[in-house]
Amino acid sequence: MAQNKYDTLGLEAAYLAHGQSKRATECQHELDEFRKVSSLVQAENQAIGPGCIVTLSFENTSRVVFIGPGAAGLKVQINNIEIVVITPSAPLGKLLIGKYLFDVIEIVIDGIKTTYEISHCY
């Protein structure tokens, strides 16, 4: 139990350090998993799986996702193209796993149904 304000600050710092240490361990684990995925990238004519970059087309626009083992929601820009990392356990990831180029998928988010065509897969 904290006896003065300095004890409280020390306790808060300890909690913060523990949380940061835990997150660093999680990041290292995700990095190790990403390194494994790079060797699993499949040929274009095979089913979509972890390690694939997929372009989804709908209504004259497109969306590019990378199916990774972690870091869901991370967005990166490559040649002015935004790529969003999703995981196989995400709703969109679950729909994409096992699909092929030019397959059509439908997803409902917040009551809105969107239909995507898989227009590219790397």
Top-confidence residue, 56 or 17: 56
> Residue 87: its pLDDT value, please?
92
Q: Using one digit for the tens of pLDDT, what is the confidence trace for 26-54?
A: 878 877 877 777 555 555 578 898 889 99
> Residue 28: its pLDDT value, please?
82
Side-by-side strand order, sheet with 53-58 = 75-78, 81-86, 61-67, 53-58, 112-121, 104-109
What residues contact residue 42 under an 8 Å CB cut-off, 6+ apart? 48, 49, 51, 52
Decide: pTM greater than 0.85. no
Q: Using one digit for the tens of pLDDT, what is the confidence trace for 62-106?
A: 999 999 888 788 899 999 999 999 999 999 999 999 999 999 999
Identity at 61, one-letter amino acid code: T
Q: Which CATH code is given to the segment(s) 41-121?
A: 3.10.50.30
Distances in whole angstroms, Cα of residue 53 to Cα of each of 10, 23, 57, 59, 116: 45, 26, 13, 20, 15
Q: Which two tokens stand for residue 120?
A: 């590219």
Is 80 exceeded by the pLDDT of residue 112? yes
> Residue 6: its pLDDT value, please?
61
> Residue 110: its pLDDT value, please?
87
Cβ-contact 120, 104 below 8 angstroms:
no
Domain ranges of the chain: 1-39, 41-121
| 3 state SS of 80 | coil
The span from the CA of 76 to the CA of 82, in Å, is: 6
The span from the CA of 113 to the CA of 108, in Å, is: 4
Is 90 exceeded by the pLDDT of residue 1? no
Query: Sorting pLDDT into bands at 50, 70 and 90, what band is 24?
Result: confident
